[in-house]
Structure 1
């Protein structure tokens, strides 16, 4: 089940190879292991994509693609999962990261209005920066681990369910 669902929503690999931002990887994109759908490549893709979704840096997709190439995870899925943090979800997710970071360092949570510009970021780094960056790092690790092990379990469950159904039909 996970394989069919993922294949249905995954973009075409030729379209990804032709992406102007991913051209820097050149011939590395032609490694067939980056396009296979199996339990291990998909689980690693969830770990990579979810990790970089929580890291507040520009060019998250390029970082996810580079890491996917290095660890031989499914490249399209790694890059697509970065879009968990998109312009609509980013303020809520990053506020949650800040809240977790403030809780971890036992700092008071200040109310602020997120603005997507460099001046706001520069002004805010001194006041909310440490808690925000700590929260982003901790949640990146937690969600990447949850994604990896969750996908391993879901894939395994789906395979066992299919085996049982096949054995039942054979009798």
Structure 2
């Protein structure tokens, strides 16, 4: 069931290879291990995708794709999970990771002024960036690892429930 549910919503590698815009990465898309749906590949894809989503960097999807390639986990799922940080959720997530970083580094946090401007951000960036990076990495590792474990436990529970149902049906 989890495998069929996930495969229903993921794109097919053949359709992506035919797209002209993706021809430069068609050799990368053709790796079968990046399209497998199993407990291990889906759990690792959640870990990679959520870790990359919490990084305050541009091109998070490319980092997630590289992570999926390195760990041989599900490529489309890890890239899709990066969109947890979208323009609506990004301020809340990055402010939370910034506050986590200030707490870990034991440094004072900067309050946003009443009139936020690019000039204020440019002058404060040297003070904001270290806690933001530290908090993002810590949150990414913790949440990514927790999601990996949770996905594997849910998958195992679901499979064992299916086995019990099958056993009961056969006994009747």
Shared fold, TM over 0.5: yes
| Structure 1 residues 146-157: aligned runs within 5 Å | 146-157=146-157
- For the residue of structure 1 that corresponds to 2:127, the secondary structure is coil
Distance in 2 (CA, whole Å) between partners of 1:86 and 1:38 is 27
Distance in 1 (CA, whole Å) between partners of 2:90 and 2:98 is 12
8 Å Cα contact 1:2/1:154 also seen in 2: no
Distance in 2 (CA, whole Å) between partners of 1:80 and 1:23 is 20
2:45 pairs with 1:72: no
1:103 CA drift (Å)? 1.0
Distance in 1 (CA, whole Å) between partners of 2:20 and 2:100 is 35
Q: Which runs of 5+ in 1 are unaligned?
A: none
- For the residue of structure 2 that corresponds to 1:111, the secondary structure is coil
8 Å Cα contact 1:50/1:140 also seen in 2: yes
1:121 CA drift (Å)? 5.3
The aligned counterpart of 1:166 is 166
Give me the TM-score of the superposition, normalised by structure 1. Answer: 0.86
8 Å Cα contact 1:34/1:73 also seen in 2: yes
8 Å Cα contact 1:10/1:76 also seen in 2: yes
- For the residue of structure 2 that corresponds to 1:125, the secondary structure is helix
Identify if the C-alpha distance between structure 1 residues 32 and 169 changes in structure 2 by more than 3 Å, giving closer, same or farther. Answer: same
Identify if the C-alpha distance between structure 1 residues 143 and 118 changes in structure 2 by more than 3 Å, giving closer, same or farther. Answer: farther
The aligned counterpart of 2:56 is 56
Larger radius of gyration: 2
2:103 pairs with 1:103: yes
Distance in 2 (CA, whole Å) between partners of 1:89 and 1:19 is 32
1:111 CA drift (Å)? 2.2
Distance in 2 (CA, whole Å) between partners of 1:164 and 1:87 is 44
Identify if the C-alpha distance between structure 1 residues 74 and 170 changes in structure 2 by more than 3 Å, giving closer, same or farther. Answer: same
Question: Alignment RMSD, CA only?
Answer: 2.3
- For the residue of structure 2 that corresponds to 1:40, the secondary structure is helix
Q: Size of the alignment, in residue pairs?
A: 167
The aligned counterpart of 2:143 is 143
Identify if the C-alpha distance between structure 1 residues 35 and 142 changes in structure 2 by more than 3 Å, giving closer, same or farther. Answer: same
Distance in 1 (CA, whole Å) between partners of 2:131 and 2:20 is 35
- For the residue of structure 2 that corresponds to 1:110, the secondary structure is coil
8 Å Cα contact 2:13/2:30 also seen in 1: no
